[in-house]
Structure 1
Amino acid sequence: MNKNSILGIACLASALTVMGQANLYAQSKDADLKNWPKGASPKEVGTKIAYHFNETPHTNFNRPGPPKVITYPETCTWYGALTFAKENKDNKLVKKLQERFEPLFGVEAKMIPIPDHVDYSVFGSVPLELYMQTKEKKYLDLGLSIADKQWGPPEGPRVVKESQGYYDQGYTWQTRLWIDDMFMITALQAQAYRATGDQKYIDRAAKEMVLYLDQLQKPNGLFYHAPDVPYYWARGDGWMAVGMAELLRSLPKTNPNHARIMKGYKDMMASLLKYQAEDGMWRQLIDKPESWPETSATGMFTFAMITGVKNGWLDKELYGKAARKGWLKLITYINENNDITEVCEGTNKKNDLQYYLDRKRNIGDLHGQAPILWCATALLR
């Protein structure tokens, strides 16, 4: 082989190395969860959504008139705004969100939900977050009273006979095996654990999660909206995705249920990866291409993947790319009033495909505002 041939081979090898490095950089850029185009950073987006929430009156599931009590979508958004404020080091926002709460100790006391149902009990996650950020004991007392009641003796008109049987086995008497519960229950109990360090709270949440996984998760990793409704309704699955990610974020690896929950979480994430649209969105019915792109579920699934990547549970390249695409597309649905569009209205179960395809698409519904704040928080962690 002559000198020129050797030189040519060396140049080709060098070029291929550079190309390989460039491709690797391109892949990493696609999966980058730190650097964002102008206007798309979690700080910018989260600030707009959080301050907008704080200026919004108590809302009644996007229906006219004020609610009788704080609804769970407001609770979820309030919690998201507080966690965002913490990660963004925005003390002004924390103060404003605290001021929003103060009337509940006085003139608005009747708006604190009676915690006789998972949708009402999740409210306790907000005072517990306020306690962790302000160290004011009144918030801890209120939050723990709700968390403890969730595992206390069954009470109230919402208790059903089946729940008593679960309570006798060490589960909450609010057990009903609806997939929504795995955010509502675990968020409250995980918050109580974070606020106190008392392991009983996180152990409760983990045991409850395993019950739901064993009873409800399908072989493909997803969840029907209900056992008698064979549809993968996206927001319903979103509650499971966020619930597992939030729980695993604080669950000690020594917990006997840790491996089972991690498996359930990873199985779900792998399945969701297959159904993400090329533009980054997920659809109202996850596996139905004829259904419409829906923002609340996209936010929830994106949060779950961000959390997995940041904690090293998921492949950084594969899921980082999915999470980045999800976030960048999701925020394009925010309008000039800082309201997210294309949010599925609250949905009762029904064994009817057309029922799900025809659900109303809301604007500014807090079901959709909350996941944006969760994502912004997770990206800043």
Structure 2
Amino acid sequence: MDKIEKYIDELLEKSTPDRPIWNIEKILQGKKSTWNYIDGCMIKAILEMYAITKDEKYFSFADHFIDCKVMEDGSIKGYSVEELNIDNVNAGKTLFELYDLTGKEKYRKAIDLVYSQIQKMPRTKEGNFWHKNIYPNQVWLDGLYMCQPFYMEYETRFHDKKNYDDIFSQFFNVVKNMRDPKTGLYYHAYDSSREMFWCDKVTGLSQNFWLRASGWYSMALLDTLDKADASVGEPYEKMKQIFVELMDSMLKYQDESGMWYQVVNVGGMDRNYLETSGSSIMAYALLKGVRLGFLPESYRTYGEKAFHGICEKYLSEDENGELHLDGICLVAGLGGANRRSGTFDYYMSEPVVKDDAKGVGPFLLAYTEMKRLEM
């Protein structure tokens, strides 16, 4: 366990708000880091480390990182509501915690700014937010994680739960439209208009079960439930059931190493590989699901096995004695400028990298759940 904290320290020491070492996409583009979901994942995990250890270094790093991006009037450097990109809501989750910890009024204003994007998001005919303005009529599993826990926390804390029904029904639409009844797994994306080249013209669905998307979705269910008021009853219980069923479906595909494959249901296929980010999310979801009482106690073993499996396979020292977390799929999506097709070959073609926050953030969240077990 000490090894992991050493690894986190190394990452923090090498990172500034403009150039975090874990944002590999920005590093490869040679660009400064602005407001984005990748940094949001990492800062959320660092705040979780602070919540558990009460070690000041985590809090001051997270506060400084976000403080640099949020102006006194609550505007956010590099963030535009008008872009209508659901990914950009994710980093807003850090603002609730930082507002509670610091009392900085600008964080409260920034929370309202991010919420104003939710009010403007275009929707599919079923009522779900589009993934992005540039991806019209499309719902991606990732987007539920990026937005819904923030939306739920805002509704619970500041809006008298007025839009609870909207949040629950967006999840229920995903079950209805994106779940495969045979495997219990969820397809990566859905085009409500049936127009995109990557989708099935009858169902609107993309072709495969991508591990990290399934992970984001499981975290979306879990973290949204965590921010909801359980006393609403039926929709809350229904969503809990959806989470439990998803965990059961995913466990059927857990490898003996404890990890999961990049394309979940075809572990034995050539070039398919055990992937770190999605496996870390699953470890987190299982451990936190048990802690919150949504899953039976016995499921903790599966979460621990996943966590140890990742450490064994992908956490290692280089020749300078520095630690790295490998096996992280850099990015995967559908359509866009590269005309991503969502085939098995497509998911195998995306780069696999070390130390990217899409893997490190969830790995760290899983680690915080492991630490809670010691408390």
Q: 1:378 to 1:144 in 2, by over 3 A?
A: farther
Aligned residue runs from structure 1 range 6-25, under 5 A: none
- Displacement of 1:172 in angstroms is 4.6
Amino acid at match of 1:92: K
Q: 1:127 to 1:354 in 2, by over 3 A?
A: same
Contact 2:130 2:139 in 1 (8 A): no
- Number of the residue aligned with 2:69: 104
Q: 1:153 to 1:354 in 2, by over 3 A?
A: closer
- Number of the residue aligned with 1:45: 4
- Number of the residue aligned with 1:23: none
- Number of the residue aligned with 2:304: 324
- Of stretches 263-272 and 345-354 in structure 1, the one that deviates more from structure 2 is 345-354
Q: Percent identity?
A: 20
- Displacement of 1:51 in angstroms is 6.2
- Displacement of 1:375 in angstroms is 1.1
Q: Distance in 2 between matches of 1:377 and 1:199?
A: 29
Is 1:191 the counterpart of 2:169? The answer is: no
Structure 2, unmatched stretches of 5+, are 132-136, 191-198, 200-205, 335-340
Equivalent of 2:86 in 118, 128, 131: 118
Contact 1:339 1:369 in 2 (8 A): no
Q: Distance in 1 between matches of 2:28 and 2:62?
A: 23
Q: Distance in 2 between matches of 1:251 and 1:145?
A: 21
RMSD (CA atoms) = 2.7
Q: 1:258 to 1:178 in 2, by over 3 A?
A: same
- Number of the residue aligned with 2:115: 147
Amino acid at match of 1:120: N
TM-score, normalised by the number of residues in structure 1: 0.78
- Displacement of 1:178 in angstroms is 1.0
The number of residues matched between the two structures is: 328
Structure 1, unmatched stretches of 5+, are 1-37
Q: Distance in 1 between matches of 2:360 and 2:163?
A: 28
- Number of the residue aligned with 1:89: 54
Aligned residue runs from structure 1 range 24-63, under 5 A: 39=2, 45-46=4-5, 48-49=7-8, 52-53=11-12, 55-56=14-15, 57-58=19-20, 59=23, 61=25, 63=28
- Number of the residue aligned with 1:272: 250
- Number of the residue aligned with 1:345: 330
User: Which is richer in helix?
Assistant: 1
Aligned residue runs from structure 1 range 127-138, under 5 A: 127-138=95-106
- Number of the residue aligned with 1:9: none
What secondary structure, in the 3-state scheme, does the structure 2 residue paired with 1:188 have? helix
Contact 2:71 2:106 in 1 (8 A): no
Structure number with greater Rg is 1
Provide, for residues 295-332 of structure 1, a one-character-per-residue CA deviation record: whole Å limited to 9, x for no partner.
Answer: 00000111110111112221212x11111111112223
